[in-house]
């Protein structure tokens, strides 16, 4: 259920070098970075609504693993835009009110150790996130709208000024004001008020191909700019309308692509960045297991190919301030099977996606760590390019481990960027090995 995809290019082989060379290859701080601007680096993690089922990954796990203390933001994935052009819970495929706020959580699974009662208005993930915020002052929760499988109706919804106003107002009503549909004792006016601190737009992609069946129009590009402006306007107005002691700035962000063609097709960068607090850059799925040849999925540097560095530079060149660019990092790997040609396995033909725990070709880091420790696979590193992969002679997995993530976090810090984002938190180990690596890389001086 990974919500990320993109156009592909041919992979260029990684050059061998020492890890110490990585910092010398990084670009210097960009001219877009304001002089003396040193904001707190963001640490953003996506929490998947559906992770509570098969993976049994609960909000409480963010507390017991120590992850919550290392995060600045949690993006809750996903709010769904319906065919009616509104952001209303329960009215569209992909919406799951049971997971969000109806499901009773018992004491053992609850963040505060107290089970949900039959008569409380807010239960499920939403109540647990509220408890998590209480235990971690300063932690913000954003509602992420759309995703790979949830972006089909964006284009239709934002074609007119009236449509944009309706969409934004419905999202603010549901998530920011917390007016949830009534479901038994759950929900009602203000039931989730105060939970969400902003909105993350995950339209994949305005003006260019996304999931099969998505509506795409050339006018998506200017309409996206107008949608962002409408969100900024309505969020600011609502924040100012609150009683003086409760007034606040609601944050606005987006998940944005790496491919220059997708950027140019859908994003008026200089305009939208005025209204965004930050954007989360696609830093993974540069190559995916559906391709015929193995390749890197998330390299920091790559010659003649997609990479984190290429993505950062593409957004900077188009007018994005460096301090508003948050680098996406994967907590999962892309894998191939039937790999032939020998060597280290990269750049070789494959017969298809590798078997995996949940979805073929995509595996959580916590399981890849077990493969790396099994003795069956050999770990390879593209030291100069900043990525890692496992190969057993037949199956290959490309992924980020703590060494790679520390390097990427250092790149963020050294180049005046806004921070790190991860997809998704349920891929980490029970003790938060990956988020700890990122946190250390971002804080090291």
Catalytic residues: 204
Determine contact, residues 175/79, Cβ cutoff 8 Å.
Answer: yes
In whole angstroms, give the CA distance from residue 46 to residue 301.
24
CA distances from 11 to 25, 130, 302 (A): 19, 44, 8
Determine contact, residues 171/199, Cβ cutoff 8 Å.
Answer: yes
Residue in 343, 261, 347 with CA at minimum distance from that of residue 296: 347
Determine contact, residues 178/116, Cβ cutoff 8 Å.
Answer: no
Residue in 268, 305, 315 with CA at minimum distance from that of residue 285: 305
In whole angstroms, give the CA distance from residue 160 to residue 346.
47
Residue in 318, 93, 78 with CA at minimum distance from that of residue 221: 318
Residue in 256, 301, 277 with CA at minimum distance from that of residue 411: 301
């Amino acid at each position: 259920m990974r919500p990320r995809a993109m156009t592909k290019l041919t992979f260029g082989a990684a050059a061998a070098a020492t890890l110490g060379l990585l910092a010398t290859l990084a670009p210097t701080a960009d001219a877009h970075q304001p002089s003396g601007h040193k904001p707190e680096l963001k640490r953003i993690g996506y929490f998947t609504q559906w992770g509570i089922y098969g993976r049994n990954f609960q909000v409480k796990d963010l507390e017991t693993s120590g992850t919550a203390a290392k995060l600045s933001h949690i993006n809750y994935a996903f709010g769904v835009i319906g065919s009616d052009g509104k952001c209303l819970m329960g009215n569209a495929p992909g919406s799951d009110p049971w997971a969000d706020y109806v499901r009773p959580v018992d004491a053992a699974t609850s963040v505060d150790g107290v089970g949900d009662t039959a008569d409380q208005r807010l239960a499920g993930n939403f109540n647990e996130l509220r408890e998590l915020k209480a235990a971690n002052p300063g932690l913000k929760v954003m509602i992420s709208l759309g995703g790979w499988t949830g972006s089909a109706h964006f284009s239709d919804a934002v074609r007119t000024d009236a449509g944009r106003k309706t969409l934004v107002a419905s999202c603010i009503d549901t998530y920011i004001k917390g007016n949830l549909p009534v479901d038994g004792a759950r929900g009602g006016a203000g039931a989730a008020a105060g939970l969400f601190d902003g909105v993350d737009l995950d339209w994949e992609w305005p003006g260019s191909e996304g999931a099969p069946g998505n509506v795409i129009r050339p006018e998506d590009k200017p309409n996206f700019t107008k949608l962002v402006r409408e969100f900024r306007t309505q969020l600011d107005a609502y924040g100012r309308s609150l009683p003086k002691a409760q007034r606040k700035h609601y944050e606005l962000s987006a998940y944005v692509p790496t491919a220059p063609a997708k950027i140019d097709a859908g994003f008026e960068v200089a305009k939208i960045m005025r209204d965004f607090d930050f954007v989360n850059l696609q830093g993974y799925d540069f190559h995916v297991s559906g391709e015929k040849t193995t390749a890197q999925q998330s390299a920091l540097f790559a010659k003649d190919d997609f990479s984190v560095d290429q993505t950062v530079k593409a957004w900077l060149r188009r007018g994005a301030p460096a301090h508003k660019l948050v680098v996406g990092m994967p907590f999962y790997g892309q894998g191939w099977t039937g790999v032939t040609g020998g060597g280290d396995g990269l750049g070789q033909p494959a017969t298809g996606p590798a078997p995996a725990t949940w979805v073929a070709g995509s595996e959580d880091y916590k399981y890849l760590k077990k493969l790396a420790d099994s003795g069956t696979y050999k770990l390879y590193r593209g030291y100069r390019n900043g990525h890692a992969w496992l190969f057993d002679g037949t199956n290959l997995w490309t992924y980020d481990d703590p060494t790679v993530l520390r390097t990427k976090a250092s790149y963020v810090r050294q180049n005046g960027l806004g921070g790190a984002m991860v997809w998704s938190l349920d891929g980490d180990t029970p003790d938060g090995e990956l988020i700890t690596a990122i946190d250390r890389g971002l804080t090291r001086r």
